[in-house]
Structure 1
Amino acid sequence: MTIVTLLSRNINLTQLSKLHPCIYGQNVRFWASHAKFAEHKSLEKLRNIGISAHIDSGKTTLTERILYYTGRISEMHEVKGKDNVGATMDSMELERQRGITIQSAATYTLWNDHNINIIDTPGHVDFTVEVERALRVLDGAVLVLCAVGGVQSQTLTVNRQMKRYNVPCLAFINKLDRMGANPKKVLQQMRTKLHHNAAFIQLPIGLESNTKGIVDLISQKAIYFEGNFGEVVREDEIPKDMNTEVNERRQELIEHLSNVDDTLGELYLNDTKLTEKDIMNAIRRSCLKRKFTPVLVGTALKNKGVQPLLDAIINYLPNPGEVENYALQEKSDGEYTKVKLSSDRDDKNPFVGLAFKLEAGRFGQLTYFRCYQGMLKKSDTLYNTRTKKKVRTQRLVRLHSNQMEDVTEVYAGDIFALFGIDCASGDTFVNDSKLELSMESIYVPDPVVSMSIQTKNSKDRENFAKGIGRFTKEDPTLRFTYDTDNKESIISGMGELHLEIYAQRLEREYNCPVILGKPKVSFRETLCEPCEFDYLHKKQSGGAGQYARVIGIMEPLPPHKNMSIEFSDETIGTNVPKQYIPGVEKGFRAMCEKGMLSGHKIAGIKFKIMDGMHHCVDSSEFAFFQAAQGAVRDVFETGNWRLLEPIMLVEVTGPEEFQGLVLGQINKRRGIINSTEVNEGWFTVIAEVPLNEMFGYVGELRSTTQGKGEFTMEYARYSPCVLEVQEQLIRQYQESQGITIAQKSKN
């Protein structure tokens, strides 16, 4: 019997606490005060939001405050807290030890009779796929910025992800209590670096240790947060010394809105007195169109500014009905057409849902879903449109971090989870097998770091296989391969921390300690200039032989395409019959998997087949497959090849007195400085550095800056590597293949 059932029978709170002090670990106070939560809410009363930001901007702390003020939890705990409890949303033991978010966590709560589904996402670039798939299924987001750090490297990444999925957002400038807090500078950075049409809708009353409250520019009132935990919100008159600034900032807000909202612009030009409702409606309209970003301020750690942020989420971010969602339907000619999905919260339309995250739960695989259309009930049958498999929904749950509450049905706009569904991240599910629909997939970046991995004890191989199988299924940016040439297992991911975390999880969760080898960078091989080929593949061994000839040219692609490979069929006539062309393309693409220069993948080239020859008996698709491979080998011998290496955008911050040493370190690592900035005793350096030079940098930076320096990096592009590195890599590859330079020269 659930808490909601007990409450519906008019059992009072005292009786309830005796009967069910905790069901699924949930807080009785929340359910007692919000028993109507389980009721079927209208679309307007629903919000799906994500909390996204750069590392250490206060996302998890902010989420903890939101859960407390909405009555979802009875007491607050800090990230890496002294009481050894840790924040609610950091449920993994590793997260609590390190004080970082590793996995995105979902929860749901209630504020002013509105259901709010929240996903707290990691800030570290190594776990960027968690942000990617969260934003794919959310309708709105809160972009958290540190009042000292401002717009940082991962802020730029998160902003790009929001733009990719067209997600409207609010900005919350956090950490006003920190030394050197400067929200005005952060607003300016939002305009210049993120290119947001942004303006304050709140101003802080005092900064750093003098942070007392905030001023609401729309209602023109001061708001103070009192009580032991800031739970008492008190409105008052604006401090007299702030009147001038408030009037200026309010005027600035109206001007920024008038530029993008015709309705408010007309009222403003006609000198009509603007009401609170006029301004709020204009903010909502322009925010939904991503033409304006309202900026709120506060300090989550000191319990100031969180309740007004919750009000802003409800007032300005969209409900699921205000977001247009489409599915793709395949036509008979192989093309796709867009089908608009209905967000009505009823069962009139067929169910369409997207599996966006997988996780191993206590009762099997837990699959996070977003319902885009229709309704799903417990025990309904679902169809995976990719695999065409049929599954039955045994158990429907809503999530609160690592705790869950069973539900009997979900509707369009809901975020929920299912147990026992075998699928991949990004699969579309429907309840009608005739519906050939698929949702747009989730963008998954390619891994940039590879390391060799092996078990410490050979008896742990079975556990290792189970763990790796689960983790690669849950995290699409984690790849596991076996290198047959080097006879070693390779694990690839988004950074050293990413791989280190999974190594620790293998030991903790599967009792399988592993050894990680030196990181290997994903270099690429490419052509420097066009090279012609004319290759004849001819083999006769009794019976039908093999015959294929391919003539054409391989040429480099422009720099902005240096990570792709292209194939072009430019044959005229019947010298190479069209049914053999796929064989040529397959042969070319197979050769691109491993280059002959250093063993890395080939990229940035185009294979043009222009002519050839075939034999009416001996030719086959396989013969042309072999011929294409032979042509690529010929081009390796005659062409001019070079290696490309990943270049990372690195942002380093630290005390000003260490700036010279840090710049020297970056130059030593072949870095190119893009910009430097000094602000109130702290410097920020943005540089482009080859990934191959970044290993071990964290230790060097910390020792140089007395532990105060920090750096973040993200993939920028691939660029030709220096001759010295290229020769070293080629030499290492040849030695690993048992080929000495002397042997090669004899051949």
Structure 2
Amino acid sequence: MTASDVSHIRNIGIISHIDAGKTTVTERILFYSGETHKMGEVHDGQAVMDWMPQEQERGITITASATSCRWGEHRINLIDTPGHIDFTIEVERSVRVLDGAVAIFSAVEGVQPQSELVWRQADRYRVPRVCLINKMDRLGADHEHVLRQMEQRLAARPVLLQLPVGTEGGFSGVIDVVEEEMIVFSETDLGRTVERKPVPLQHEEALRNARLAVTEAAADFDDQVMSDFLEGRAVESERLKLALRRGTISCRIFPVLLGSALRNKGVQPVLDAVCLFLPSPLDLPAMIGRHPGSGEAESFSCDANLPLRALAFKVMAEEGRRLTYVRIYSGRMKQGASVLNPGRGAGERIRHLFRMHAHRREEVPEAVAGDIVAVAGCQATLTGDTLCDPEHPLLLEGVAVPEPVVSVAVEAKGAEDRGNLLGTLDYFQWEDPTFRVHEDKETGQTILTGMGELHLEIIVDRLRREYGVQVKTGRPRVVYREALRREVVRREVFQTIAERRPEQAELLLRLTPTSRGSGVRIILPTPVAPITPELLAAVEQGIMEACHGGCLTGYAMTDLEVQVVEVPVEPGVAPSEPVLRGAAQRGVVLAAREGKPMLLEPIMKLELETPADYLGKVLGGLQQKRGKVEGLDRRGEMEVVRASVPLAEMFGYMTELRSATKGRASYTMEFQGFDEAPAEVQERFGLAGKGRSGGITSG
């Protein structure tokens, strides 16, 4: 594949809130590009991209599906991502490897909680976006309100490139502001035929104003456009498009289009905009990797002639075999080639390469820089791992993994189920970094931990359907975190018997509580002989193990800085790695017990929509659940409540809400952070209630 071929690749994702129409848009893209010959519908359970039985039954996307299609000269690698908060890792790992995205908003509901979350994920990785305001045919559709919400809630600068022809049920097409033409979509062939016509007289003034606004936005990225704009001269459409492309790739503006995917209107212009405004792999800034040994940074460009560097962003288990999705950033990947996973120090063999079409695959002999493919043969590679040329090892930045917040106990029903349970759960852990399995030391039960009730419900359902493992489940429980109230300094002297002789290690540790959401930070001293970097790595590992296991309740510690102040040794004699690791682990646990530990509980950000008649009852219910109302808004005839509520209070809330509002209210929620649990929860786990922070204790 030549550089000109790579310039025609678009690696894009479709991101939005649940139910904004992502999968419906994807099905139209596949249909209009000739990839499929029949449109699948989400509400019929026939969507090509929603291939899992659970997706087809529930009408939601659970796993990010990849497909490839052609549009004109361009090849589009497309990932359809979930909108449900429980499956946010699917969005996170997809956004990490995308060059651009199509963000979809409902013309009725506007910017919703998960819209904000996926937008922030795209911001974090600086992914350029084209936006589609979908469902323009629905009652209450208001694209101008959505544009205002984008400015206010997303801090984005939307640039409207189309005007609607007709409103709500009368929506029949759009006006192309740049080309100054009306676009209509045929009703007789499912919107395949697209006609461009002169703009009707009644829309000319609105078009003039809209084109002026587009020109003003484009002027920030082209001096000639700026000059023409200031002097009142018309700007030709090709120059406008080039300026808008520059602004879009820099993530400073976001082109906005209008449509109704379900009614087959407005999808082809989205494909045109993807090819026109979103970047190819060659348009992106140089990637940065680090050498595994020294940590030294190295930058490289998207070039097939450089050594191979690829990122594994998704692993799927199929009948016990792994299929690994990779994004190739430089070099070539060939069938039969040997590659290195530098993060795990493991060699891998590329047995087969596939271009994926939802759940269908096309085998290819080679893939090059800029491509997204699936690989069979990798045994040790997991999400976020790098694959590279063994002669030129380099580590790429991985994938940010959110912490799971809900757990459930499971028990195998029969002897055969018991034998297969743990092995099968391992497959799910390969696939999903937010899914964890551990054994409760007191009860011996197997505990599954994930992002929410639906997440764990899907895992249990897949156990039964795909692997024939029957389990009984307990009630879902909240996953707490431990944190300290005060600083502790502790000198830990750890003794053990190694190779039939006593061995000792000593550490001086300082544990300091930090702000909410800061996680765990470890500060190590500079290695001075006889203390080597390898010995300090063992100390760091011991600290991490202690933090993961907690000091009293078994829940992980967070919001904590652990500083290794000194590692005293006799001249020329250094303790072994296992002894230092043991000293660090024991020292952190015992020090934390002196730091007045407390429990933190997960807090969720809630957006609830209810008829005005039930608002008082809904607010009263939230107050009983320790909810804090942070804002009230109006959306058409509905009241919108924004609040933060402890997750522990939200189990079964949908049933309560439907009962209180006769089924007319609904809500969505996303993880907001951890905060101090109430005194009764602290006491249940044997911890003191609220106490004074501050002060230092030495041990």
2:51 matched to 1:74?
Answer: no
Q: Give the aligned partner of residue 58 of structure 1.
A: 21
Q: CA deviation at 1:506?
A: 0.4
307-316 or 646-655, which moves further after superposition? 646-655
Give the residue type in structure 2 aligned to 1:294. P
Quick one: structure 1 residues 341 and 550, their matched pair in 2 at CA, closer, same or farther if it must change by over 3 Å? closer
How far apart are residue 185 of structure 1 and its match? 0.4
Paired residues of 1:121 and 1:134 also in contact (CA < 8 A): yes
Distance 1:611 1:434 in 2: 38
The one-letter code matched in structure 2 to 1:379 is G
In the alignment, the residues of structure 2 paired with residue 383 and residue 546 of structure 1 have an alpha-carbon distance, to the nearest angstrom, of 37
Match of 1:306 in 2: 267
CA displacement, residues 143-199 of structure 1 (integer Å, 9 cap, x when unaligned): 000111111111111111111221111000001111111110001111111111112
Aligned runs of 1:332-347 on 2, under 5 Å?
334-344=294-304
Q: What TM-score comes out, normalization by structure 2 length?
A: 0.90
SS of 1:173's partner is strand
Q: Which of 661, 664, 668 is the matching residue for 1:708?
A: 664
Provide, for residues 90-125 of structure 1, a one-character-per-residue CA deviation record: whole Å limited to 9, x for no partner: 111111000000111111111122211111111111
Contact 1:451 1:519 in 2 (8 A): yes
String of CA shifts for 1:524-557, please: whole Å, max 9, x gaps.
2222123444566679999955666666653322
| Structure 2 partner of 1:717 | 673
Alpha-carbon distance between aligned partners in 2 of 1:712 and 1:146, rounded to the nearest angstrom: 15
The answer to whether the 8 A contact 1:537-1:548 is kept is yes
Residues of 1 paired with 2:346 and 2:494: CA distance? 43
Q: Which has the larger radius of gyration?
A: 1
**Gap change, CA 1:727 and 1:171, over 3 Å in 2:** same
Instruction: Tell me the CA shift for residue 516 of structure 1.
Output: 2.2
Q: Distance between the aligned counterparts of 1:377 and 1:631, measured in 2?
A: 49
SS in 2 for 1:450: strand
Against the structure 1 CA distance between its residues 289 and 640, is the aligned structure 2 distance closer, same or farther, given a 3 Å change threshold? same
- 2: CA distance, partners of 1:336 / 1:305: 48
Q: How far did residue 40 of structure 1 move? A: 10
Match of 1:483 in 2: 440
Q: Matches of residues 471-550 of structure 1 in structure 2 within 5 Å?
A: 471-533=428-490, 545=502
Out of 140-149 and 714-723, give the one that drifted further. 714-723
Cα distance in structure 2, aligned partners of 1:541 and 1:296:
69
> Residue 266 of structure 1 corresponds to which residue in structure 2?
227
Instruction: State the distance in 2 between where 1:457 and 1:53 align.
Output: 42
Can you list the C-alpha shifts for 1:664-720, whole angstroms capped at 9, x where unaligned? 222111111111111211222211111122211122122223333222222212111
Q: The residue matched to 1:601 in structure 2 has which SS?
A: coil
Q: Distance in 2 between matches of 1:427 and 1:535?
A: 35
RMSD between superposed Cα atoms in Å: 3.2
Whether the aligned pair in 2 keeps the contact of 1:464 and 1:512 (CA below 8 Å) is yes
Distance 1:641 1:371, change over 3 A: closer
Counterparts of 1:208-223 in structure 2 under 5 Å? 208-223=168-183
Amino acid in the other structure paired with 1:253: V
8 Å CA contact 2:302, 2:370 repeated in 1: no
Determine whether 1:671 maps to 2:671.
Answer: no
Cα separation, partners in 2 of 1:172 and 1:538, compared to 1, 3 Å: closer
Within 1, Cα distance between the matches of 2:567 and 2:190?
78
Amino acid at match of 2:112: Q
Verify: 1:154 aligned to 2:110, yes or no: no
Unaligned runs of 5+ in 1: 1-37, 733-747
AA aligned opposite 1:425: T
CA contact (8 A) 1:140 1:317 kept: yes
Cα gap change, 1:93 to 1:277, in 2 (>3 Å) = same
Q: Is it true that 1:251 corresponds to 2:195 in the alignment?
A: no
Any idea what the Cα deviations from partners look like across 1:633-692, whole Å, max 9, x if unmatched? 665665433221121111112333322222222211111111111121122221111112
Aligned pairs for 1:153-192 within 5 A = 153-192=113-152
Query: Would the aligned equivalents of 2:603 and 2:674 in 1 still touch at CA under 8 Å?
Result: yes
Is 1:234 aligned with 2:223? no
CA distance in 1: counterparts of 2:157 and 2:48, whole angstroms: 34
Match of 1:385 in 2: 342
Q: 1:293 aligns with which of 254, 276, 279?
A: 254
Instruction: Report the secondary structure of 1:80's partner residue.
Output: helix
Contact 1:570 1:608 in 2 (8 A): no
Change (3 A) 1:242 1:406: same
Distance in structure 2 (CA, Å) of the matches to 1:481 and 1:145? 39
Give the letter for the 2:443 counterpart.
N
Question: For residues 438 and 571 of structure 1, what CA distance do their matches in structure 2 show?
Answer: 23
Shift of 1:619: 9.3
SS in 2 for 1:518: coil
Aligned counterparts of 1:234 and 1:41: Cα–Cα separation in 2? 30
The aligned residue for residue 65 of structure 2 is 105
Task: Please say which of residues 71-80 and 723-732 is displaced more in the overlay.
Answer: 723-732
Residue aligning to 1:745: none
> How big is the shift at 1:614?
6.7
Within 5 Å, which residues of 2 pair with 1:299-698?
Answer: 299-330=260-291, 334-344=294-304, 348-361=305-318, 364-422=321-379, 423-430=381-388, 432-533=389-490, 545=502, 553-561=510-518, 563-567=519-523, 588-608=543-563, 620=575, 635=591, 638-698=594-654
Q: CA deviation at 1:497?
A: 0.5
When residues 387 and 551 of structure 1 are mapped into structure 2, their CA distance, relative to the original with a 3 A threshold, is: closer
Of residues 397-406 and 578-587 in structure 1, the stretch that sits farther from structure 2 once superposed is 578-587
* Structure 1 equivalent of residue 697 of structure 2: none
Q: Are the equivalent residues in 1 in contact too, given 2:552–2:593 (CA < 8 A)? A: no
Deviations 1:310-362 (A, max 9, x none): 11111111111111342414176x22212213335xxx333332222111347
Distance 2:678 2:338 in 1: 57
Q: Report if aligned partners of 1:172, 1:296 keep a CA contact under 8 Å in 2.
A: yes
1:143 to 103, 109, 113: 103
Conserved in 2, the CA contact under 8 Å of 1:547 and 1:619? no
Q: Secondary structure at the match of 2:461?
A: helix
**Aligned-residue identity in percent:** 36
Count of matched residue positions in the alignment of Structure 1 and Structure 2: 685
The whole-number CA distance in structure 2 between the counterparts of 1:177 and 1:579 is 63
CA deviations 1:440-496 (Å, max 9, x no partner) are 211111111121122122321233233211111011111111222332211111111
- Counterpart CA distance in 1 for 2:573 and 2:382 is 42
Q: Is the 8 A contact 1:545 1:618 kept in 2?
A: no
Q: Quick check: 1:47–1:114 contact (8 Å CA) kept in 2?
A: yes
Q: Residues 653 and 260 from structure 1, CA distance in 2 versus in 1: closer, same or farther, beyond 3 angstroms?
A: farther
- What is the SS of the residue equivalent to 1:730? coil
2:7 is paired with a residue of what secondary structure? helix
Conserved 8 A contact 1:356-1:425: yes
In 1, Cα distance between equivalents of 2:458 and 2:680: 33
Deviation at 1:72, TM superposition (A): 1.2
CA distance in 2, matches of 1:609, 1:211: 65
**Contact 1:44 1:321 (8 Å CA) reproduced:** yes
